[in-house]
Amino acid sequence: MSNKRVAVAGATGVVGRELIRMLEERNYPLSSLKLLASERSAGQELTFKGETLKVETLREDSFKDVDVALFSAGGGTSKHFAPFAAKDGCVVVDNSSAWRMDPEVPLVVPEVNPGDIAKHKGIIANPNCSTIQMVVVLKPLHDAAKIRRVVVSTYQAVSGAGKAALQELDDQMHAVLAGEEPACSVFHYPMAFNVVPAIPHKNPFEANGYTTEEMKMVNETKKIMGDDSIKVTATTVRVPVRTGHSEAVNIETEQKLTAAQARELLAKAPGVTVMDDPANNVYPTPMHAAGRQTTYVGRIREDLSLDNGLDLWIVSDNLLKGAALNAVEIAELL
């Protein structure tokens, strides 16, 4: 790979900081790094490989000297600025939902559909965090036995909702333990010691009763896997965990796969670590997954209610493989 001129848009956010860390940890071959954010965050200083970099204001002309831009600045920001970057010859890897279902924009998980990158026209979409960790595990099983149906329930960390959400969780924890009423601004209901639907603050539910987060998993799975015949239903839930999404996934396959066969396939799968010895209390948890660049799968067992069914427990760091790591891996493939 030749050295690239790289920009990170949304550099001061939770995912933005992880993007910078992944570029450093994976020694991405760059010749320069530009950090961009809103005017409110401009002027902040962040470090990269021991060097202090000042955050600049994100503008329409910020990408004239940039080869690859990693966006994590929200859907509206991406919708406005990504086309300007692409017009200036920069390739955008966008972490928001703005471009994911655009038929002209590839939606990529490198372990699943790396070839789709070649179809880009200046913008590549990074999938939803919950979708990424699920399809990394499903891909080898689909290739071996063809998945007919997926039923997924998520247990999503608060960091997926951003810095303000994490602060709100901390504040609410302190309030509840002090016997006080927890204040809510990011979430509709208290997050501390509670379980709530994983929904955005605005327009959370669609006409069909599913949340927008649930429909992301339904639609993105089909697009990434390249198979519209896969039936997907999802229930997405936010739990009071800081980092690391967990998922209970049930699949029905066309051909029979035993639990042993599934373990063997997944042990060879890129980006996947099998952690499955329940007799010795070995199974993945979000606390274990936090900070690690892999997707864990455990509790692999055959569905007692279905001839060709498997149950899986999938856990990954939502800020890494669910966001920053996947984006940097896309940039590496570029």
For residue 223, the model assigns a pLDDT of 98
CA distance 189 to 168: 11
Q: Contact at 8 Å (CB) between 286 and 244? A: yes
For residue 2, the model assigns a pLDDT of 74
CA distance 232 to 222: 8
pLDDT tens track for 96-150: 999 999 999 999 999 999 999 999 999 999 999 999 999 999 999 999 999 999 9
- The one catalytic residue among 90, 120, 129, 142: 129
CA distance 204 to 140: 32
For residue 279, the model assigns a pLDDT of 93
Q: At 202, is the pLDDT very low, low, confident or very high (cuts 50, 70, 90)?
A: low
CA distance 66 to 6: 6
- Give the H/E segment covering residue 273: strand 272-274
Class at the top of the CATH hierarchy for domain 131-157+195-318: alpha beta
Q: At 200, is the pLDDT very low, low, confident or very high (cuts 50, 70, 90)?
A: low
Q: Spell out a b/e string for 275-300, using b for 16 or more CB atoms within 10 Å of the CB, else e.
A: bbeeeeeebbebeebbebbbbbbbbb
Cα separation values, 100 from 76, 217, 323, Å: 13, 11, 13
Quick one: average pLDDT of 249-268? 98
pLDDT tens track for 141-158: 999 999 999 999 999 999
Computed over every residue of the chain, the mean pLDDT equals 95
Of the candidate ranges 15-19, 95-99, 203-207, 252-256, the one whose mean pLDDT is the lowest: 203-207
183 — alpha (psi -120 to 50), left (phi > 0) or beta? Answer: beta
Cα 230 versus chain centre, distance: 21
Q: Contact at 8 Å (CB) between 19 and 26? A: no
Quick one: average pLDDT of 13-33? 95
Q: CA 296, 221, 106 angle in degrees (round to 5)? A: 105
Q: Which residue bears the tokens 């669910």? A: 322
Domain 4-127+324-333 shares a fold with domain 131-157+195-318: no
What's at 202, amino acid-wise?
K
User: Which residues sit opposite 152 in a β-bridge?
Assistant: 234, 249
Ranges of each domain in the chain: 4-127+324-333, 131-157+195-318, 165-193
What's at 329, amino acid-wise?
E
Quick one: average pLDDT of 280-309? 97
Fold of 4-127+324-333: Rossmann fold (3.40.50)
Count CB-CB contacts under 10 A for residue 321. Answer: 25
What's at 203, amino acid-wise?
N
- The one catalytic residue among 90, 120, 142, 245: 245
pLDDT tens track for 71-99: 998 899 999 999 999 999 999 999 999 99
User: Which residues sit opposite 6 in a β-bridge?
Assistant: 33, 68
Helices (H), the chain: 14-25, 75-87, 129-145, 163-177, 212-225, 259-267, 286-289, 325-333
- 245 is a catalytic site residue: yes
Quick one: average pLDDT of 267-277? 97
Query: Is 237 strand, coil or helix?
Result: strand
Q: Contact at 8 Å (CB) between 314 and 134? A: yes
Q: Which residue bears the tokens 């509670």? A: 194
Cα dihedral 200, 201, 203, 209 in deg (nearest 10)? 60
For residue 24, the model assigns a pLDDT of 96
CA distance 27 to 127: 23
pLDDT tens track for 43-76: 999 999 999 999 999 999 999 999 999 999 889 9
- Residue among 152, 146, 178, 104 nearest 254 (CA): 146
For residue 1, the model assigns a pLDDT of 55
What's at 204, amino acid-wise?
P
- 80 is a catalytic site residue: no
